[in-house]
Amino acid sequence: MRQTQADRRQAESSSRIAELAALAWLVCTGHRLLARRYRAAGGEIDLVVRRGRVIIFCEVKYRRPAGHDGMPSPAQQRRICNAAHEFIARHHISPDLEYRFDLIRISPFTWRESLPLQHLRDAWWCDPA
């Protein structure tokens, strides 16, 4: 079934709200925002944050409770990795810092779930440039 324009707008709106919720949570847990919706020739990164000596490239997924796990496909992981390499080069990030790729899954709040946000650290690995 094809998505209508209204469905796409609703999905985009839900994604933006999920990104804001993820960002608020990250900031409250001591992370500092470096970039939001960073676009590069090879892909896009939802959030780039730093905590201490670690740069974290975050993919944010909004999902229904019964939906799939939200893990980016291998092709999406490569695009995010390419964008991360460009971010590191463009912003002259020190090679002494550590890098990590995280997945933050957000589901609609229900009374049955204790926390509608899940932060999966080191969700996948990316070959350094």
Which ranges of the chain would DSSP assign to H, the alpha helix? 5-28, 74-90
Question: What is the per-residue pLDDT across 46-84, written as a single tens digit (0 to 9) for each?
Answer: 999 999 999 999 999 987 655 556 788 999 999 999 999
Mean of pLDDT values over 7-17:
80
> CA geometry: angle at 101 spanning 98 and 106, to 5°?
140
| In-domain check, residue 129 | no
**In contact, 18 and 61? CB cutoff 8 Å:** yes
| In-domain check, residue 58 | yes
Question: What is the per-residue pLDDT across 104-129, written as a single tens digit (0 to 9) for each?
Answer: 998 876 555 556 788 999 999 987 55
**What is the domain-level CATH number for residue 54?**
3.40.1350.10
Q: Is 49 left (phi over 0), alpha (psi -120 to 50) or beta?
A: beta
Count of domains forming the chain: 1
β-partners of residue 91 are none
pLDDT for 12 equals 76
Tokens 């998505």 correspond to 3
| In-domain check, residue 59 | yes
Stated pTM of the model = 0.85
What gap in Å lies between CA 128 and CA 15, rounded to an integer? Answer: 28
Q: What is the CA radius of gyration of the chain?
A: 15
Structural domain span for residue 10? 5-124
